[in-house]
């Protein structure tokens, strides 16, 4: 059966895509046939078929974490799928990768919003927009999106500040990042995170690009900023080490497909100095 990607359903289990063995690795971002998914998984625990007649082009659904994967199907971790498909590109929310990540965000949200947060009734998919609808009290719930900033800090000597976070793979250095807090502008978040994590003050905070990052529900907003004062002082909690690097003496960098690498590549090609 040929599948129009605009009709496909993305099925997840935890942080993995569930795909049929007939789907090649390069086709995992095209979705699965709704009819086949319904037929194979309709009786699985926690599985809730998306409303296929809802006017949304992306449909994500989840299996319970203990649901056995039937013969003829396999799982591919979403992050692995991302690095497989994103080689050399930045994720901008478009194309097959954008569809896959959007579906992942939606699948997690549908699972987390199984019940109305106000009266506890089981939610349904709203028929007219991307929302969950409580049939008892009418409350609507929309996908949660958590803004986070990530910043390339540059100094007047042509160097960039890269930091090693405890969560990173061995020896990988990347950019300082953190979540926007209630009541804060994005520029304030950039300045606060840099002050807290590496002890520096910055100026000339400039927005560059954004990237949906549904692990689980972030929108990464990428900035550049200019060093304005202070000594590097890693917080020791998240950041273990931070240093100024020149373009010709770089540590291991984050993988392609991430906004951090996109910003670093922009600096390496002198889009900002």
Binding site for Zn ion (CB under 5 A): 116, 118-119, 121, 134, 136-137, 139
Q: How far is the CB of 50 from Zn ion (least distance, A)?
A: 20
Q: How far is the CB of 113 from Zn ion (least distance, A)?
A: 11
In the complex with Zn ion, the residue whose CB is nearer, 136 or 145, is 136
In the complex with Zn ion, the residue whose CB is nearer, 141 or 197, is 141
How far is 153 from 175, CA to CA, in rounded Å? 8
- The DSSP-derived string for 106-163 is HHHHHHHTSB-TTT-PBPEE-SSSS-EE-TTT--EE----EEEEEEEEE-TTS-EEEE
Q: How far is the CB of 142 from Zn ion (least distance, A)?
A: 15
Three-state secondary-structure class, residue 18: strand
The token pair at 172 is 């990988």
How far is 49 from 115, CA to CA, in rounded Å? 15
In the complex with Zn ion, the residue whose CB is nearer, 87 or 119, is 119
In the complex with Zn ion, the residue whose CB is nearer, 141 or 238, is 141
How far is 175 from 149, CA to CA, in rounded Å? 10
Strands lying side by side in the sheet with 16-20: 59-63, 9-13, 16-20, 73-77
Q: Are strands 9-13 and 73-77 parallel, antiparallel or unpaired?
A: unpaired
Do 88 and 97 form a contact (C-beta atoms < 8 A)? no
Q: How far is the CB of 116 from Zn ion (least distance, A)?
A: 3
C-alpha closest to that of 150 among 196, 194, 104? 194
In the complex with Zn ion, the residue whose CB is nearer, 51 or 250, is 51
Rounded CA Rg of the chain = 21
The token pair at 60 is 């994500």
In the complex with Zn ion, the residue whose CB is nearer, 51 or 119, is 119
């Amino acid at each position: 059966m040929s599948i129009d990607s605009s009709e496909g359903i993305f099925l997840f289990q935890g942080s993995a895509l569930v795909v049929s063995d007939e789907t090649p690795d390069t086709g995992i971002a095209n979705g699965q046939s709704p009819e086949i998914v319904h037929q194979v998984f309709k009786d699985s625990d926690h599985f809730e078929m998306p409303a296929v007649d809802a006017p949304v082009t992306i449909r994500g659904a989840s299996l319970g974490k203990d649901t056995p994967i039937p013969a003829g199907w396999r799982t591919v971790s979403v992050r692995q799928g991302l690095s497989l498909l994103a080689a050399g590109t930045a994720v901008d929310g478009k194309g097959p990768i954008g569809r896959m990540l959007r579906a992942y965000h939606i699948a997690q949200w549908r699972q987390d919003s199984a019940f109305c947060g106000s009266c506890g009734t089981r939610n349904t998919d709203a028929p007219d927009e991307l929302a969950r609808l409580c049939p008892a009290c009418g409350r609507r719930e929309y996908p949660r999106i958590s803004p986070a900033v990530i910043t390339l800090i540059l100094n007047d000597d042509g160097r960039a500040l890269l930091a090693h976070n405890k969560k990173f793979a061995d020896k990988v250095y990347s950019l300082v990042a953190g979540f926007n807090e209630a009541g804060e502008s994005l520029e304030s978040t950039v300045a606060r995170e840099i002050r807290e994590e590496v002890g520096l003050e910055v100026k000339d905070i400039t927005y560059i690009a954004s990237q949906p990052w549904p692990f689980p529900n972030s929108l990464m907003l990428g900035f550049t900023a200019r060093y304005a004062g202070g000594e590097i002082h890693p917080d020791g909690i998240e950041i273990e080490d931070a240093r100024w690097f020149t373009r010709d003496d770089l540590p291991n960098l984050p993988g392609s497909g991430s906004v951090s690498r996109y910003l670093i590549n922009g600096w390496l090609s002198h889009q900002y100095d």
